[in-house]
């Protein structure tokens, strides 16, 4: 989905202004900045921002009537994220949506006054907010999951593929959140009888070389930490897992929809619908410092039975019974 399609989506539906709002409020044009870590043509990034835009519509915001959205798409490039953060701050919007945690540090370094709503991993440890209950500054938003959940991925991998003894973890070594997730995975590995092998996700070539080297020994499996490069290269990672017959567990259901074996993580679309609610409240006068950072309320377990069959795996009935989505 491109920029024009997003604008069409936001502006194409007539939405009544909420009862009780004044005509002056309805006519005032408000500007919303969106700093997206993904690419404009990435379907998952498009789906999240579509969910955000639809949430705004339901709350009475429509492009051309009372709102304007300025998009910047970084395609996982940290240099572009910093550049576009500066561009958005220079526009002095009423609020900025940081669609991904990597945009937060550049934004906070540039402004302490423009309200920011984020979607990020562990914003307290990253220094984005003082605490979850009382953010304290000009930013608030939504967490993706606690780092401890990363250990759950390894447990799921052992449940669906008990023969796995070695697990490659695709990670971003310069991303603090990715490093913390990797540590959580390492912590649960010894009790599960698993050895961990990091593969740094610098670029597509590094991923392919790392996985090719890893599969020279048997009994391997795969997981990854959540980071912008992992998302950018997710199709490659899924393809390599299939090519080398590696059972793999992922953080979000869209990996499984794309051919991955199993995933467990929050409903990202729901988080972006909820983010629209925070943007709405800020536009109506509330302060980010007074809006607590919220954790996900919906987690999804997804299993791709077609992929399991291709890998020669029999999915335990107890695991199937727990699944929110089964792809056949």
- Give the pLDDT confidence of 81-131 residue by residue, as tens digits: 999 999 999 999 999 999 988 889 999 999 999 999 999 888 887 889 999
With 70 as the cut, is the pLDDT of residue 304 above it? yes
Beta strand pairing call for 67-73 and 30-36: parallel
With 90 as the cut, is the pLDDT of residue 297 above it? no
For residue 233, give the DSSP letter. T
Q: What element of type H or E holds 327?
A: strand 325-327
Across the range 270-290, mean pLDDT stands at: 96
CA–CA separation, 229 vs 207, rounded Å?
10
Domain 3-144+267-297 has CATH 3.40.50.2300: yes
pLDDT of residue 12: 39
Across the range 204-211, mean pLDDT stands at: 94
Residue that wins the pLDDT comparison between 232 and 327: 327
pLDDT one-digit tens code per residue, 20-41: 444 444 458 999 999 998 888 8
Torsion of the alpha carbons at 127, 113, 69 and 23, rounded to the nearest 10:
130
| Mean pLDDT across the chain | 89
Q: Are 221 and 248 in contact (CB under 8 A)?
A: yes
The region of weakest confidence among 261-265, 280-284, 296-300 is: 296-300
End-to-end C-alpha distance for the chain, whole angstroms: 27
Q: Are 294 and 143 in contact (CB under 8 A)?
A: yes
pLDDT of residue 221: 98
Q: What element of type H or E holds 153?
A: helix 149-160
pLDDT of residue 15: 35
Burial 296-328 (b: 16+ CB within 10 A, else e): beeebbbbbeebbeebebebeeeeeeebeeebe
pLDDT > 90: what percent of the chain?
A: 71
With 50 as the cut, is the pLDDT of residue 4 above it? no
Structural tokens at position 278: 């925070």
With 50 as the cut, is the pLDDT of residue 283 above it? yes
Q: Can 3-144+267-297 and 149-266+300-327 be said to share one CATH topology?
A: yes
Q: Are 101 and 119 in contact (CB under 8 A)?
A: yes
Across the range 195-223, mean pLDDT stands at: 94
Residue that wins the pLDDT comparison between 189 and 40: 189
Domain 149-266+300-327 has CATH 3.40.50.2300: yes
pLDDT of residue 27: 59
pLDDT of residue 232: 84
pLDDT of residue 157: 96
Phi, psi (deg, nearest 5) at residue 314 = -100, 115
For residue 295, give the DSSP letter. -
Q: DSSP states of 249-262 as a string?
A: EESSHHHHHTT-SE
In the structure, what pLDDT confidence band is assigned to residue 18 with cuts at 50, 70 and 90?
very low
Ranges of each domain in the chain: 3-144+267-297, 149-266+300-327
């Amino acid at each position: 989905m491109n920029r024009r399609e997003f604008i069409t989506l936001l502006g194409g539906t007539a939405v009544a202004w909420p009862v009780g709002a004044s005509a002056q409020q309805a006519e005032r044009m408000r500007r919303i900045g969106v700093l997206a870590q993904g690419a404009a043509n990435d379907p998952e990034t498009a789906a999240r921002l579509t969910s955000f835009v639809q949430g705004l519509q339901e709350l009475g915001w429509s492009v051309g009537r009372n709102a304007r959205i300025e998009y910047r798409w970084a395609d996982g490039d940290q240099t572009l994220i910093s550049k576009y953060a500066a561009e958005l701050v220079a526009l002095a919007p009423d609020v900025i949506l940081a669609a991904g945690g990597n945009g937060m540090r550049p934004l906070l370094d540039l402004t302490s006054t423009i309200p920011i709503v984020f979607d990020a991993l562990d914003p307290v440890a990253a220094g984005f907010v003082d605490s979850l209950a009382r953010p304290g500054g000009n930013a608030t938003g939504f967490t993706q999951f606690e780092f401890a959940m990363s250990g759950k991925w390894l447990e799921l991998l052992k449940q669906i593929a008990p023969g796995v003894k070695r697990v490659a973890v695709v990670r971003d070594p310069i991303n603090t959140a990715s490093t913390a997730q990797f540590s959580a995975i390492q912590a649960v590995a010894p009790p599960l009888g698993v050895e961990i092998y990091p593969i740094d996700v610098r670029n597509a070539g590094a991923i392919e070389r790392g996985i090719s080297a890893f599969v020279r020994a048997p009994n391997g499996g795969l997981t990854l930490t959540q980071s912008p490069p992992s998302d950018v290269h997710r199709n490659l990672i899924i393809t390599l897992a299939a090519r080398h017959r590696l059972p793999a567990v992922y953080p979000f259901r869209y990996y499984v929809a794309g051919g991955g074996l199993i995933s467990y993580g929050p409903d990202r679309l729901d988080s972006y619908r909820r983010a629209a609610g925070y943007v709405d409240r800020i536009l109506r006068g509330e302060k980010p410092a007074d809006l607590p950072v919220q954790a996900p309320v919906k987690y999804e377990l997804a299993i791709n039975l077609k992929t399991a069959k291709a890998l020669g795996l029999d999915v335990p009935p107890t695991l199937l019974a727990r699944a929110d989505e089964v792809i056949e």
